[in-house]
Amino acid sequence: MGADKNTDILIAHGIRPTANRILVVRALLAADRPMSLTELEHKILTLDKSGIFRALTIFRDNHLVHVIEDGGGSARYELCTSDGEADDDLHVHFYCESCHRTFCIDNVPVPAVSLPRGYRPESVNYMFKGQCPECSGK
């Protein structure tokens, strides 16, 4: 194992741990909610958005991040908590239409449904839209 936790995460997923990729992993770890490309761009000032995008693309292909579409017209990325390709750490998300943040409802797993014959699902996304606790009280 390497000396750095973020480095280990990358290596464990078969991704070469370059300096930029470690920055992206760190930013995702520090965030407590799924981040959009633009949000990451503002958070990682030393790295161009195309660099972040390419890192995220690799992460997605190597099952290191989930991609979810919120209702705000942009994709969001969050680190997978499970190892491997199972993607079995899925939980419900909530997009607040007032503050435009996307929350993880960590303790609410995505309920399973069975699909008709022939469909081969590879990922699933259960997303609410509405008012978050902070905004619904205002």
Partner DNA sequence: GTTCTTGCAAAATATTTGCAAGACG
Partner DNA sequence: CGTCTTGCAAATATTTTGCAAGAAC
Asked if residue 123 binds a second copy (CB under 8 A), the reply is yes
Asked if residue 138 binds a second copy (CB under 8 A), the reply is no
10 Å CB burial of residue 96 (0-12, 13-18, 19+) is: buried
Site for a second copy in 71-110 (CB under 8 A): 71, 73, 75, 92, 94, 97, 105, 107-108, 110
How far is Cα of residue 95 from the mean position of the Cα atoms in its chain?
14
Query: What is the nearest approach in angstroms of a second copy to the Cβ of residue 5?
Result: 29
* Residue 73 backbone zone (phi > 0: left; psi -120 to 50: alpha; other: beta): left
Residue 37 interface partner, choices DNA, a second copy, none, CB cut-off 5-8 Å depending on type:
DNA
Residue 138 interface partner, choices DNA, a second copy, none, CB cut-off 5-8 Å depending on type:
none
How far is Cα of residue 49 from the mean position of the Cα atoms in its chain?
16
